[in-house]
Structure 1
Amino acid sequence: MGSVPNVYSMLKEQLAGTGAEVITPDSEKYAGSIKRWSEHCIKQAQAVVLVSSADDISKTLIFVREHSVPFVVRGGGHSTSGASSIEDGLVIDLSKLRQVTVDTDKKTIKAGGGTIWEDVDVEAAKYGLATVGGTVNHTGVGGLTLGGGYGYLSGKYGLTIDNLVSVDIVLASGEQVVASETSHPDLFWAVRGAGQNFGVVTAFTFQGYDQKEPVFAGTLVFLPDKIPQIVSFVNKFHEVNDGNQAMLWGFSAPPPMKAPVVLAQCFYNGTEEQGKEFFSDLINIGPIVNPLASVPYEKLNAMLNPASGFDGRKQFGGGAFKLPLKPDYVQALHAEFTSFVDSHEKMNESLMLFETVPYKKVVEVPNEKMAFSNRGDYYNVATCFKWFDASLDQEVREFSRNLLKKASQTAGVEQDEKIRSEQGVGQYGNYANVDVPVAEIFGKNSKKLEELKHKYDPDNLFSRGLRLVPRPLVIVN
């Protein structure tokens, strides 16, 4: 590769007059351009190109191929795997591509590749519509969608990718195509679960649904001694929900008190009266904080934002659990989680979350229908550790992995070959690190993905995320 100043000066020349902007370390905008949701994912890129169109991306991909420039793609910058950051190359930043348009006749929502879920929620709400999005609205649409996408509406409409109509995507060759069930259907199969390995998506078109009325939601806060009663309600939830409800519950010690509590984010797609009746047994347990109320849908995905700020180092991890649960199992996990957090300074905002999002609609789609392979008779359990001391990075990662492995084994959802062959893999790709074996994320779909990778990206240009091929392929100049 040529010297850093020379190669990026050439890129600036090639993109001159296009609306794209090439930011280098001497620019005033540089610090903001490499900022990420997790501080441990901030890397000193040699340059950042803020693209403004699919043509800009095509030109940039052709350029990086010709000059063997390593690169990554940034959508919302919300991942904790570090896959959208780079030290030794270029970031293709999509944050200018934030236009959202709604087709009221088809009830579809088209979102640019750099949008966040707030953009989609707010624009769709103007037309009384919504689609399945994330539970934190500053999450990027691209990252969540390409990895699967669970949300409050999943119980009724399935995953985000189940509601994806098409994508506009720039391939490794620079070619711009639309992938859907009728156009490049094999690519569309791969994009839904492994999309970051196949190109740069410049726009997503989602199916929207009528959502004109408010929803009933909020976060109840309990003292840890209520865990047995909470588990009892969760077990009941599993039996009586009809897909219009969701419950995200788990452990943390958030400010201002910074004391261990159990949080329960409740959602009911209906009236306040209906929601109170459905969650009455949980409410009657006696939360110390109860803000449950009717809210507009577009405000729902902002409720967890205060617990998801941009400061600190963060690490996602994922596993799975089955219902019903036993209280002593949950209490043991709580004790282990709390002990670790309490023994480290400034880690109290860490979270272990049992994502009780109804999955009957999700499992109606077979795992072989698309690349995504985490459909089964179980729920996701996640950790999001937050800390500030860089020397703890490895310790936090190992503890999270071991805790989630223990949680999955105890709950009867071990990530072994039997599980991966009979149902879903028990591992949500959006919570995984890039070094996880491909079979743990894609199970029986791994071989087909490798074949499609050779078809659509034969030189492995998109190689910085989860690797679908056994080894990096040589980039041909």
Structure 2
Amino acid sequence: MEVAIGLAGWAMGSFCSSLPASAHDTLLNRFCQRDSVSGLANRLSSGAHIYLPGSNEFNLSTTRWSTLDAPNVTITVEPATENDVAETVKYANERGIPFIAVNGGHGAITTVGGVKNGIEIWMRSLNKVAIAKDGKTVTLGGGVLAKSVTDTLWRAGKQTVTGGCECVSILGPGLGGGHGFLQGRYGLISDQFVSMNLVRADGSINTIDRTSDLWWAMQGAGHNFGIVTSVTSKIYDVKYPNWAYQSFIFTGKDVEGLYGAINDHLLKNGNQPVNIMEYSFFFNSPDIDPKNPVIMFFILQEGADVVDEKYTAPFTALGPVVSQAGAGDYTQIPEWTGNALTSPPCQKSGLVNTRFPIDLKTYNTKAQREVYDLFSSTLRQIPALNGSLFLFEGYPLQGVQAIPSDSTAYPFRDNHLLVAPLIIYKWNGDKLEKQAKELGEKLRQILFKASGMKELDTYVNYAFGEETVKNWYGSEKWRQDKLRQLKDKYDPKRKFSFYAPIA
């Protein structure tokens, strides 16, 4: 049932009259009180929509990329204006109902499962992409997805930092920092922010920029402080339109050689070239190796029609079983790397997708062998996990490190590698869930112990959910103190406590 604003009262009455007696003691009953949903509808703009369970749009809005510990909501509001967001927050607060904002539905962190009988604020319609007349900034709606931003800017000869997956939003990753192919030039997604309109926990609408003490927190821990209805970000002229890639597939025998070569010829002790990005993953491909995972490896080069041989030669020398090259422009990278709208990672197929991230400085080749062998043997022993991947991302850091580390809440500007086992399976009971979690944690701990790092740094946008606040937001006491002080000031009742919450 879709509830258009003008019909909300009638529709809700019909819906509530059909509720079984067992529902009368739940929070859903609050929506069936006089003046409840119809009262909310009367506060929203004419373009807003309310969706109830059983409707196609409710199902679409609540279907997530990972099914494990998904939020439990009993109503979806699709706002048409930022004031609709504010009024929904106020309405929820008045009735003691939890709420959560959703963009693309790709946040897989298990903490969002803390939403029980809540309201989802589906940001889909807040999707504008408006380039300023001076060509220096773009204003983005809070629900806009990466592909829309990239394509719109590209047609105008502009670009900005976005994530590498077309179906993911800008603000989902951006509020947690946000890695991307252009970060070597310009920094993280959050480093591009100039100002934003923010609905705070009390339902007030605020425009903030770097003059606000809250600005620091919104760049790395922003999920904890409000719902961003729009953001103005820096954009840049496209100076290097051409991109090239070289891909390789290796079998397990080449683990040490591959990651040793990445260390020596690409990472270069933290001096990875600004126009080079490397990306690899373990995955099963029975056509190539029926018994063990293989390794897909990409080198991407900005401003080239062919990846320079000085970067590819060490990997060609290893003797890959498959090698492929191609060229085009920046907008084609997601297609090359398997992250386009039509690619498997963008499909919501009813699977559990859990990640166990760790940031690293360099590859320890002995540990790479150990995690490969464990990943391989476990997938053989537990075929239900056969669709899993193990991701290794190496982005250039020049633009990221140009921003002072203490100037934003994002804490890990000196880490060179973003690593994450992605354990994928169809949920089939607690036993399989436990096995999947154990595998992900074992793989992560092997890498952590071999890294020599004192703290387990975990990228918050990839987090599983059982890491600590220090893992997500940095272990320095001053960081933790500052986050808690800002949380106490701007969200004392902890309304925003479902995505990697600050204590």
TM value normalised by structure 1 = 0.89
Given candidates 243, 262, 281, the residue that maps to 1:234 is 262
Cα offset for 1:230? 1.1
Equivalent-residue separation in structure 1 for 2:294 and 2:425 (angstroms): 18
Cα offset for 1:27? 2.6
Partner of 2:470: 439
* Structure 1: gaps (5+ residues): 416-424, 470-477
> Equivalences for 1:32-431 in 2 at 5 Å?
32-82=60-110, 86-103=115-132, 105-182=134-211, 184=212, 186-211=213-238, 213-217=241-245, 219-236=247-264, 237-239=266-268, 241-254=272-285, 259=290, 260-302=293-335, 303-305=337-339, 306-308=343-345, 309-311=347-349, 312-323=351-362, 325-391=363-429, 392-415=432-455, 426-431=457-462
Note closer, same or farther for the CA distance 1:30–1:221 as it changes in structure 2 (3 Å cut): same
Note closer, same or farther for the CA distance 1:342–1:307 as it changes in structure 2 (3 Å cut): farther
The answer to which of 215-224 and 52-61 deviates more is: 215-224
The answer to which of 434-443 and 9-18 deviates more is: 9-18
Equivalent-residue separation in structure 2 for 1:11 and 1:382 (angstroms): 45
Equivalent-residue separation in structure 2 for 1:144 and 1:408 (angstroms): 24
Cα offset for 1:377? 4.5
Note closer, same or farther for the CA distance 1:460–1:358 as it changes in structure 2 (3 Å cut): same
Per-residue CA distance 1:216-245 (angstroms, 9 max, x = gap): 125422222222321232012112632111
Q: Are the equivalent residues in 2 in contact too, given 1:58–1:170 (CA < 8 A)?
A: yes
* Structure 2: gaps (5+ residues): 1-26
Cα offset for 1:156? 2.3
Identity within the alignment, %: 25
Equivalences, count: 457
Partner of 2:53: 25
Equivalent-residue separation in structure 1 for 2:490 and 2:289 (angstroms): 49
Q: Are the equivalent residues in 1 in contact too, given 2:299–2:307 (CA < 8 A)?
A: no
Equivalent-residue separation in structure 2 for 1:63 and 1:338 (angstroms): 50
The answer to which of 225-234 and 198-207 deviates more is: 225-234
Equivalent-residue separation in structure 2 for 1:377 and 1:12 (angstroms): 46
Per-residue CA distance 1:261-302 (angstroms, 9 max, x = gap): 111122111212354443232234333333321122112134
Note closer, same or farther for the CA distance 1:109–1:258 as it changes in structure 2 (3 Å cut): farther
Cα offset for 1:452? 0.9
* 3-state SS of 1:118 partner: helix
Per-residue CA distance 1:145-176 (angstroms, 9 max, x = gap): 00111111122222111222222211112221
Equivalent-residue separation in structure 2 for 1:122 and 1:364 (angstroms): 27
Equivalent-residue separation in structure 2 for 1:157 and 1:16 (angstroms): 38
Equivalent-residue separation in structure 2 for 1:136 and 1:346 (angstroms): 25
Cα offset for 1:17? 4.4
TM value normalised by structure 2 = 0.85
Amino acid at match of 1:292: A
Cα offset for 1:382? 1.1
Partner of 1:463: 497
After TM superposition, the runs of 4+ consecutive aligned structure 1 residues lying more than 6 A away are none
Q: Are the equivalent residues in 1 in contact too, given 2:197–2:231 (CA < 8 A)?
A: yes
Q: Are the equivalent residues in 2 in contact too, given 1:102–1:108 (CA < 8 A)?
A: yes
* 3-state SS of 2:161 partner: coil
* 3-state SS of 1:361 partner: helix
Q: Are the equivalent residues in 2 in contact too, given 1:135–1:151 (CA < 8 A)?
A: yes
Note closer, same or farther for the CA distance 1:172–1:358 as it changes in structure 2 (3 Å cut): same
Cα offset for 1:114? 0.8
